[in-house]
């Protein structure tokens, strides 16, 4: 076997691996003898078929397998031995290779590969980046506590309908339909407030709800199939009225809501609500920070990429991408590749790793917070461990969590290493920060505010293409 290389462009090389017959003959002969011992050939007892017959049947496939194995092992061993960090997988150059297992005994495999470019990342030298801390507003804290009191309150069937009730109605031969009074328009509330079970209410459906989404849920139709101009009117009968009386914030409430005794006063509950709300909003501010940080790094870290190689690699390995599409989205591809290189460099220099125990701890906390918060941790620990062990069997999920925790560690590294200026304010001020506008009035432009907030929650920044995820788990050797 002989391995040589040539440099064909900046950071692009071709590696030639020459395989002679002597490199694979011994292993192939051994494999043929094993096949002979177990092969079931009509007309021959097991283990007594002529070796020449076995060769005619199995030798060519065995040579192919053995040669591919030798090439794959030596290809990646060459990179490891020579400390070569490559981009993507090496590309087989068929026009420079000699691979004919039917007619040849010696073979030449030619691989084109790109070496990762040299560059430096100095976080402290980057321009200033603003970090926004979203603080909990009083109305958010009040609503958080209201929802908890409602969760642990008592369900009753009141005599007459009020604002926070849940109502079941029926008309014609339709099945019962349900709605929350809070979802009604002012006109809809006027129709129903104060009414009692068995009362008949005449409604115009198109004027009943504040949104088409609530109307479609009430009518049990998909939103795009509701024609609000042609759904008519009806006399509906009130079947039942439901209400949840808010729990009193007494000793019994705190024992139910926090059985571990961690919170036992209104002041502690308000602090807990503030922490929970700000933790939720932190995901939005972290997303904003990461988008800004990635953009800043891509713009300020000088990286020269082998663009011609990358274009050929993309077209060869992605059949759905055409030349035209590649040209149109080329800048996005370049940004993604640059970020992958920067992220890998940051992770390598900081020795960032995600251990199996860290993934298990994340899963354990997730299950406890979402399913067992009403129990003492010690009482459900065995069940939590069972759920974690079961989840760890899903390799796809484990990989996703690995990437998620790795991304979080990269974010912490950037936040601690970059020049930052911290701003703070409630979510409406954060939206103004995101969009570069003044905070809108809650009264005059409340709808505009809600639309902006919804867009931020659903789409994030939206001003930068999402980078391609980096493959961080140990890569398997690719069979030629």
Query: Rounded to 10 degrees, what is the CA torsion of 194, 200, 201, 204?
Result: 160
DSSP strand E in 191-336: where? Answer: 200-204, 233-245
Of 462, 407, 399, 401, which is closest to residue 434 (Cα–Cα)?
A: 462
What's the average model confidence in pLDDT over 98-103? 91
In whole angstroms, give the CA distance from residue 305 to residue 119. Answer: 11
Helices 377-391 and 356-371: crossing angle in degrees, nearest 10, is: 130
In whole angstroms, give the CA distance from residue 96 to residue 282. Answer: 54
For the question of whether the overall pTM of this predicted structure is more than 0.85, the answer is no
Q: CATH 1.10.3120 occupies which residues in the chain?
A: 123-139+263-459
Q: CATH 3.30.70.1050 occupies which residues in the chain?
A: 2-115
What's the average model confidence in pLDDT over 349-375? 91
- In this structure, are residues 47 and 110 in contact, taking their beta carbons and an 8 Å threshold? no
Q: Enumerate residues 6+ apart whose C-beta is below 8 A from 192.
A: 161, 167, 181, 184, 201, 238
Q: Which two tokens stand for residue 203?
A: 């409604």
What's the average model confidence in pLDDT over 168-186? 92
Residue predicted with more confidence, 131 or 173: 131
What's the average model confidence in pLDDT over 30-52? 79
- pLDDT of 209 higher than 80: yes
> What mean pLDDT, rounded, does the chain reach?
86
Q: Which fold has domain 123-139+263-459?
A: Trigger factor, domain 2 (1.10.3120)
Cα-atom radius of gyration of the chain, to the nearest Å? 33
What's the average model confidence in pLDDT over 393-404? 94
Strands 177-180 and 166-170: antiparallel
C-beta neighbour count of 93 within 10 angstroms: 14
Between 3.30.70.1050, 3.20.20.70, 3.40.190.10, 3.40.50.970, what CATH number should domain 2-115 receive?
3.30.70.1050
Whole-Å CA distances, 267 to 165, 270, 280: 29, 5, 20
In whole angstroms, give the CA distance from residue 348 to residue 339. Answer: 14
Residue 462: pLDDT band (50, 70, 90) is very low
- pLDDT of 407 higher than 50: yes
C-beta neighbour count of 381 within 10 angstroms: 14
pLDDT for the residue 46: 79
Residue 448: pLDDT band (50, 70, 90) is very low
- In this structure, are residues 421 and 128 in contact, taking their beta carbons and an 8 Å threshold? yes
Hunting for tokens 């909990």 — which residue is that? 136
DSSP 37-86: HH---TTS-TT-S-HHHHHHHHHHHHHHHHHHHHHHHHHHHHHHHTT--E
Q: Which two tokens stand for residue 392?
A: 């760890």
pLDDT for the residue 55: 84
pLDDT for the residue 230: 63
If residue 308 lies in a helix (H) or strand (E), which one and from where to where? helix 307-317
Of 92, 430, 88, which is closest to residue 277 (Cα–Cα)?
A: 430
């Amino acid at each position: 076997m002989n391995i040589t290389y040539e440099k064909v462009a900046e950071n692009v090389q071709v590696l030639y691996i020459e395989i002679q017959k002597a490199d694979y003959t011994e292993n192939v002969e051994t494999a043929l003898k094993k096949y002979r011992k177990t092969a079931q050939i009509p007309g021959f007892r097991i283990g007594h078929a002529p070796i020449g017959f076995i060769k005619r049947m199995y030798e060519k496939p065995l040579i192919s397998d053995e040669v591919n194995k030798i090439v794959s092992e030596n290809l990646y061993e060459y990179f490891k031995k020579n400390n070569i960090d490559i981009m993507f997988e090496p590309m087989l150059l068929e026009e420079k290779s000699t691979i004919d297992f039917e007619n040849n005994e010696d073979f030449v495999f030619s691989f084109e590969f790109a070496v990762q470019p040299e560059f430096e990342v100095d976080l402290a030298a980057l321009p200033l980046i603003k970090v926004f801390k979203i603080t909990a507003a009083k109305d958010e804290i009040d609503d958080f506590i209201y929802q908890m009191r409602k969760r642990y309150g008592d369900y009753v069937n009141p005599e007459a309908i009020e604002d926070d009730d849940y109502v079941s109605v029926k008309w014609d031969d339709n099945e019962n339909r349900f709605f929350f009074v809070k979802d009604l328009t002012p006109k809809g509330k006027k129709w129903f407030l104060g009414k009692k079970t068995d009362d008949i209410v005449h409604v115009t459906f198109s004027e009943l709800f504040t949104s088409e989404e609530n109307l479609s849920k009430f009518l049990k139709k998909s939103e795009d199939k509701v024609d609000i101009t042609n759904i008519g009117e009806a006399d509906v009968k009130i079947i039942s009225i439901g209400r949840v009386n808010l729990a009193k914030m007494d000793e019994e409430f705190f024992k139910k809501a926090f059985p571990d005794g961690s919170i036992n006063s209104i002041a502690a509950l308000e602090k807990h609500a503030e922490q929970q709300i700000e933790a939720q909003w932190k995901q939005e501010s972290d997303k904003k920070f990461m988008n800004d940080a990635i953009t800043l790094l891509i713009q300020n870290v000088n990286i020269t990429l082998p663009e011609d190689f990358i274009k050929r690699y993309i077209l060869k390995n992605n059949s759905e991408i055409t030349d035209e599409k590649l040209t149109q989205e080329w800048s996005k591809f370049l940004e993604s590749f640059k970020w992958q290189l920067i992220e890998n460099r940051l992770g390598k220099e900081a020795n960032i790793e995600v251990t199996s125990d860290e993934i298990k701890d994340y899963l354990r906390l997730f299950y406890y917070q979402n399913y067992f918060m009403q129990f003492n941790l010690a009482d459900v620990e065995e069940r939590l461990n069972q759920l974690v062990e079961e989840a760890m069997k899903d390799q796809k999920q484990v990989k996703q969590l690995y990437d998620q925790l790795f991304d979080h560690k990269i974010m912490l590294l950037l936040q601690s290493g970059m020049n930052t200026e911290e701003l703070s304010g409630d979510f409406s001020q954060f939206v103004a920060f995101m969009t570069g506008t003044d905070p809108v009035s809650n009264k005059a432009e409340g709808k505009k505010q809600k639309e902006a907030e919804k867009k931020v929650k659903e789409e994030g920044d939206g001003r930068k293409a999402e980078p391609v995820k980096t493959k961080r788990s140990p890569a398997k050797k690719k069979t030629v």
